[in-house]
């Protein structure tokens, strides 16, 4: 076990998240167990995006094996490599296909969660726009050119793509608001870029543009955003979508095919290298691939199967369930994090770890290590009790620890769409998420 000290803030965030049964937003390297090949593949994807390429990856595994953890890890690596990240969970109101605004809802959520290294928890869209405007103003001052003309010239190549002309006009409107102190104009520009205008009438009256980001243009605007963040000084855009099993729920074949079609469009664009500096990571269970069999035909069909060996060279990473050995290592790392990285401050001796695992096995069976979210939560609770009770013996406290049986709630049922309203980090060897 490493003797590197754990920063108090990082320790607190890790233990608070894991103790609440949710995936931590940072510090994942301290509790990373196994998954060496999978992490290597994701790190390579991030490097490819930063270098001007594109990537698409499916993280597939049963409930509780660590898919969300790996998505958070990929985002952390991307932020370290100067990428911008956006992320969202799919649900009935946020989908990559629809005619009733769900795609626009998904895009809005992605933009609200836009993160940079300086603002890793999201809400960074305004910062990115400000950074672009600031660099343009600096260039204008250095060259003596008109700032508006500099901004127009820098956005010229975006104007040639679908939606790019209005995006450029919205960014210029933001600059005008910045230049004149018109906060309302700046706010309108940000709302347009977050797809928060539902009608073209509002966009035209407030910004002078004739289009909005709607269900039919979301993918185009993700590609535009990858170009825009590059102009703002970043190295690309990583899009992370979790809970892809929500696509399995629509009752109609048309809705299912529409969902598959949108994912295929993204897959073909990125794997064929047609979108520089843009990548996607999707997370779902094996049922997601099974229910969308057409996805397994594109491309390198043998890689889109459940063959773990092929999956690391193709688009799919299949995550195996945790083993007892994996969980033991993870508990040891949690003990280490709790002690600030100082073995002399351990509150549990080596005998306690297998004893805790045996106790959990007796309560909830093999679930305790195969889908260990609640086991981890119970272990964090035990450490908290010992910390708050100096001198207490873990043997006396252990019998009162009650890990809960993990259950997969599954995606929420949704309305049949046919009846819906019309339209450079070194990684050691994830943990459950």
Quote the domain boundaries for residue 393: 324-400
Q: Are the C-beta atoms of 273 and 239 separated by less than 8 Å?
A: no
Reported as a pLDDT band with limits 50, 70 and 90, residue 367 is confident
Q: What is the pLDDT of residue 371?
A: 77
Q: Which of 318, 349, 382 is the last residue of a domain?
A: 318
Q: Are the C-beta atoms of 46 and 240 separated by less than 8 Å?
A: no
Q: In the sheet where 237-242 sits, what is the strand order?
A: 84-89, 237-242, 278-284, 54-60, 316-318
Q: Are residues 104 and 131 in the same domain?
A: no
Q: How far apart are the first and last CA of the chain?
A: 22
Q: Are residues 262 and 390 in the same domain?
A: no
Q: Is 7 left (phi over 0), alpha (psi -120 to 50) or beta?
A: beta
Instruction: Kindly state the tokens that stand for 367.
Output: 């679930």
Q: Are residues 107 and 240 in the same domain?
A: yes
Mean pLDDT of the chain: 83
pTM of the model: 0.81
Q: Has residue 244 been placed in a domain?
A: yes
Q: Which of 318, 336, 365 is the last residue of a domain?
A: 318
Q: How many domains is the chain partitioned into structurally?
A: 3
In this predicted structure, the answer to whether residue 61 has a pLDDT above a threshold of 60 is yes
| Mean per-residue pLDDT, 156-184 | 90
Instruction: Kindly state the tokens that stand for 357.
Output: 């695992």
Q: Has residue 226 been placed in a domain?
A: no
Tell me which DSSP letter residue 56 carries.
E
Q: Are residues 251 and 105 in the same domain?
A: yes
CA 20 to chain centre: 19
CATH number for the domain including 269? 3.40.50.300
What does the DSSP assignment read for 129-165? Answer: HHHHHHHHHHHHHHHT--HHHHHHHHTHHHHTSTTHH
Q: Are residues 114 and 238 in the same domain?
A: yes
Q: Has residue 175 been placed in a domain?
A: yes
Q: Are residues 153 and 90 in the same domain?
A: no
To the nearest whole percent, how much of the chain has pLDDT over 90? 48
| Mean per-residue pLDDT, 381-388 | 94
Q: What is the pLDDT of residue 409?
A: 47
Q: Are residues 21 and 109 in the same domain?
A: yes
In this predicted structure, the answer to whether residue 384 has a pLDDT above a threshold of 50 is yes
Q: Has residue 328 been placed in a domain?
A: yes
To the nearest whole percent, how much of the chain has pLDDT over 70? 83
Q: How many residues does the chain have?
A: 433
* CA separation for the pair 236, 85 (Å, rounded): 8
Q: Has residue 99 been placed in a domain?
A: yes
Place of tokens 């019309």: 422
Q: Has residue 95 been placed in a domain?
A: yes
Q: Are residues 107 and 19 in the same domain?
A: yes
Q: What is the pLDDT of residue 416?
A: 40
In this predicted structure, the answer to whether residue 257 has a pLDDT above a threshold of 90 is no
Q: Is 116 helix (H, G, I), strand (E, B) or coil?
A: strand
* Cβ neighbour number for residue 238 with a 10 Å cutoff: 29
In this predicted structure, the answer to whether residue 298 has a pLDDT above a threshold of 70 is no
| Mean per-residue pLDDT, 15-29 | 79
Bridge partners of 240?
Answer: 87, 281
Which position has the higher pLDDT, 250 or 129? 129
Q: Has residue 334 been placed in a domain?
A: yes
Q: Are residues 134 and 59 in the same domain?
A: no
Q: Give, in order, the Cα–Cα distances in Å from 12 to each of 116, 175, 348, 373.
A: 22, 40, 18, 18
Q: Over the stretch 202-214, which tens digit does the pLDDT of each residue have? A: 999 999 999 999 8
- Low-confidence winner among 1-10, 148-157, 395-404, 407-416 (lowest mean pLDDT): 407-416
In this predicted structure, the answer to whether residue 53 has a pLDDT above a threshold of 70 is yes
In this predicted structure, the answer to whether residue 401 has a pLDDT above a threshold of 80 is yes
For residue 21, which phi and psi values (nearest 5 degrees)? 80, 20
- Low-confidence winner among 201-210, 345-354, 399-408 (lowest mean pLDDT): 399-408
Q: What is the pLDDT of residue 252?
A: 54
Q: Has residue 330 been placed in a domain?
A: yes
Q: Are residues 58 and 100 in the same domain?
A: yes
Q: Are residues 198 and 255 in the same domain?
A: no
Q: Are residues 24 and 107 in the same domain?
A: yes
In this predicted structure, the answer to whether residue 313 has a pLDDT above a threshold of 70 is no
């Amino acid at each position: 076990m490493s003797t590197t000290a754990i920063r108090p803030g990082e320790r607190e965030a890790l233990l608070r998240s894991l103790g609440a049964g949710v995936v931590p937003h940072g510090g994942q390297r301290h509790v990373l167990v196994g998954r060496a090949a999978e992490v290597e593949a994701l790190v390579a994807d991030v490097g490819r995006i930063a270098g001007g390429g594109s990537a698409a990856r499916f993280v597939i595994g049963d409930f509780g094996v660590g898919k969300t953890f790996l998505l958070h890890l990929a985002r952390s690596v991307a932020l370290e490599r100067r990428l911008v990240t956006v992320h969202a969970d799919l649900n009935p109101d946020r989908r990559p296909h629809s005619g009733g605004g769900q795609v626009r809802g998904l895009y809005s959520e992605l933009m609200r969660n836009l993160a940079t290294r300086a603002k890793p928890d999201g809400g960074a869209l305004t910062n990115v726009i400000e950074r672009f405007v600031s660099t343009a103003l600096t260039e204008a001052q250095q060259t003596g050119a008109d700032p508006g003309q500099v901004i127009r010239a820098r956005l010229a190549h975006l104007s040639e793509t679908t939606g790019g002309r209005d995006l450029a006009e919205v960014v210029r409107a933001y600059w005008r608001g910045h230049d004149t102190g018109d906060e309302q104009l700046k706010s309108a520009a940000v709302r347009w870029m977050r797809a928060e205008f539902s009608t073209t009438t509002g966009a035209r009256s407030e910004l002078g543009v004739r289009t909005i980001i709607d269900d039919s243009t979301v993918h185009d605007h993700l590609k535009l955003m990858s170009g825009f963040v590059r102009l703002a000084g970043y190295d690309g855009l990583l899009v992370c979508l979790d809970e892809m099993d929500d696509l399995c729920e629509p009752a109609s074949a048309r809705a299912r095919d529409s969902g598959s079609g949108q994912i295929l469009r993204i897959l073909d664009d990125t794997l064929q290298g047609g979108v520089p500096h843009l990548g996607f990571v999707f997370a779902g269970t094996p049922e997601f691939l099974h229910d969308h069999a057409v996805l397994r035909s594109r491309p390198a069909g043998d890689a889109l199967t459940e063959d773990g060996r092929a999956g690391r060279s193709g688009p799919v990473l299949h995550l195996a369930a945790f083993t007892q050995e994996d969980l033991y290592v993870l508990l040891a790392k949690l003990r280490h994090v709790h002690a600030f990285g100082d073995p002399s401050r351990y509150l549990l001796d080596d005998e306690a770890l297998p004893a805790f695992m045996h106790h959990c096995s007796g309560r909830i069976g093999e679930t305790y290590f195969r889908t260990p979210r609640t086991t981890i939560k119970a272990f964090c609770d035990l450490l908290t009790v010992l910390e708050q009770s100096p001198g207490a013996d873990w043997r006396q406290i252990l019998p009162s620890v009650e890990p809960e049986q993990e259950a997969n709630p599954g995606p929420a049922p949704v309305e049949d769409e046919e009846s819906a309203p019309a339209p450079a980090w070194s990684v050691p060897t994830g943990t459950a998420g």
